[in-house]
Amino acid sequence: MQRILIADDDPAIRDVLKDLLEDEGFDVVEADSGASVLNALTASNGDRPGLVMMDIRLPDQSGLDVLREAQSSQGEGLPVIMMTAFGTSNVAIEAMRLGAYDYITKPFDLDDVLLTIKRYFERQQLSNQVIELSSLLGERDPNELIIGKSPAMQEVYKTIGRVAGSDATVLVTGETGTGKELVATVLHRISTYAHGPLIKVNCAALPETLLESELFGHEKGAFTGAINQRKGRFEMANKGTIFLDEVGEMSLATQKKLLRVLQEREFERVGGSVSVKIDTRVIAATNKILPQEIEAGRFREDLYYRLNVISVYLPPLRDRKEDIPLLVEYFVGKHRYRQDASPARVSQDAMNAMMEYDWPGNVRELQNLIERAIVLSQGGIITADQIDFYGADTRKLIDVGDYVRRGTALTQIMAEVERDALHEALQQNDGDRAAAASALGLKVAEFNKRCGERGL
Ligand SMILES: Nc1ncnc2c1ncn2[C@@H]1O[C@H](COP(=O)(O)OP(=O)(O)OP(=O)(O)O)[C@@H](O)[C@H]1O
Ligand SMILES: [Mg+2]
């Protein structure tokens, strides 16, 4: 039988709760002071309560102090639900930070209380079934960057291996967050161009007028502001790899110039007449379906064939769900709550939820979600209620104060704030990306890029 300790100095409250919980088959014990709560918590296993309902004001000391003391002797995950007549944010935050399971305000609705308690015990049961993640990956090469054992990913590895030794142009396709840039990085590292640089160009982020000089460089005086000669990315990538990311976003005019360069393997800087030869491996990526773009007149068919000499297609995560546990293990190992913390663990119910989800943001979304869950679980066990799929409308905006108190890094906080802002803008504009972008003062391409990075 589950034992619950009710700690309150008001006997009337104790009576009400006792009746309620005994009717539900719980074994109820009582305490009227902080000292007796601490006593009960240090009792031997069989006598120790499975859950404590504790008033925040006890006659001898505050419930928060009891919590603090119990935590320093017991460690994380105290089975405590705090009760208070004052629902102030500071106390609530502090109680949760100190590891209370939940926090309820008086006067309470008895059905709610019961629900919270039952949920606690259910969750307790599920999170006791922690998954042995470390067994999943087995012997993994620590330098391995691409994770996944599904047949679809095996095909990807084979293609990468096959083209490693050639200088053929490669087109990497797949939905946002499927790992296109990662594949480009690996392709470069194992290629014969590995000793040269890997130069990345995000074709979506640059305005049309800049893209050309960015790619090909310009001569001094080529246009207003061109005070010096400048090398373009193609020249910088000499004897290395150039990665043309989001190539599907290029304007038709720039596509034409790119095609010429790929055909002739030489180009002129903007405003110049000297031709520059290129010795560069070209890798392009897009999350657009280029044949459709060609059909719609937005992409040149001849350029498509030039780029698509070898193609690597990265399937969406929902089509290779067997890779989810491996990826979870990988990201849990990579992101720590604090530098010196041991990896978080993942409960069976959390894993079940992740296996059922569709992952529109693919691996990036999974990675962001794990990072976030690690913060929420304070490095302990990640349970289903710490899993927060962005698609859900119930997402709360982050509480910066809470994050700072938890010692969260600024970069992580900024990332969360950005995600909240993007998410909120989408919500307020019913998913209309152009309107959401303009609400935040961003160009649509920039907005989409940031959404992609944040798994939205
Ligand atoms: N198979 C994988 N194993 C490990 N990490 C992965 C894998 N796939 C993607 N990632 C990680 O997920 C994140 C997103 O991947 P990446 O940037 O390569 O996606 P992308 O396909 O280029 O997305 P987009 O189209 O939005 O630019 C990166 O942090 C990357 O390291
Ligand atoms: Mg990318």
Over residues 135-164, the pLDDT tens digits come to 555 556 667 789 988 889 888 888 888 887
Backbone angles phi, psi at 167, to 5 degrees: -105, 20
- Between 326 and 142, residue with greater pLDDT: 326
**pTM for the predicted model, two decimal places:** 0.68
3-128 and 151-314, same CATH topology: yes
The CATH code of domain 319-453 reads 1.10.8.60
The reported pLDDT for the residue numbered 138 is 58
Best CA proximity match to 247, nearest among 195, 284, 206: 284
pLDDT over 90 at 247, yes or no: yes
Instruction: Measure the CA–CA gap between 171 and 304, rounded to whole angstroms.
Output: 9
Residues 6+ apart with CB under 8 A from 215: 201, 232, 233, 234, 254, 257, 258
The reported pLDDT for the residue numbered 133 is 61
The reported pLDDT for the residue numbered 245 is 93
The reported pLDDT for the residue numbered 388 is 74
Question: What is each CA distance from 148 to 141, 326, 442, in whole angstroms?
Answer: 13, 7, 35
| Mean pLDDT for all residues in the chain | 85
Let me know: does 285 contact 246? Beta carbons within 8 Å. Answer: yes
Q: Identify the band that residue 392 occupies on the pLDDT scale cut at 50, 70 and 90.
A: very low
**Ligand 1 centre distance from Cα of residue 177 (Å):** 5
Instruction: Measure the CA–CA gap between 91 and 84, rounded to whole angstroms.
Output: 9
Instruction: For residue 58, give the 3-state DSSP assignment.
Output: coil
371 Cβ below 6 A of ligand 1: no
181 Cβ below 6 A of ligand 1: yes
Q: Identify the band that residue 87 occupies on the pLDDT scale cut at 50, 70 and 90.
A: low
Instruction: Dig out the tokens for 58 from the structure.
Output: 């006890």
**Ligand 2 centre distance from Cα of residue 128 (Å):** 38
147 Cβ below 6 A of ligand 1: yes
Residues 6+ apart with CB under 8 A from 359: 316, 317, 318, 365, 366
The reported pLDDT for the residue numbered 145 is 86
Q: Whose CA is nearest to atom 29 of ligand 1?
A: 364
Let me know: does 324 contact 137? Beta carbons within 8 Å. Answer: no
The reported pLDDT for the residue numbered 74 is 66
Let me know: does 282 contact 166? Beta carbons within 8 Å. Answer: no
Domain 151-314: CATH superfamily, name plus number: P-loop containing nucleotide triphosphate hydrolases (3.40.50.300)
The CATH code of domain 3-128 reads 3.40.50.2300
Q: Running DSSP on this structure, what letter comes out for residue 251?
A: -
pLDDT over 90 at 269, yes or no: no
Q: Identify the band that residue 313 occupies on the pLDDT scale cut at 50, 70 and 90.
A: very high
Q: Whose CA is nearest to atom 13 of ligand 1?
A: 364
**Ligand 2 centre distance from Cα of residue 159 (Å):** 19
Domain assignments of the chain as residue spans, ordered by start = 3-128, 151-314, 319-453
Instruction: Dig out the tokens for 300 from the structure.
Output: 């040149």
The pLDDT of 97-115, averaged and rounded, is 85
Rounded to 5°, the CA angle 329-374-420 comes to: 120
51 Cβ below 6 A of ligand 1: no
The ligand whose atoms approach the alpha carbon of 179 most closely is: 1
**Ligand 1 centre distance from Cα of residue 368 (Å):** 11
pLDDT over 50 at 46, yes or no: yes
Query: What are the percentages of helix, strand and coil residues in the chain, rounded to 5?
Result: 50, 15, 35
pLDDT over 90 percentage in the chain: 40
The ligand whose atoms approach the alpha carbon of 182 most closely is: 1
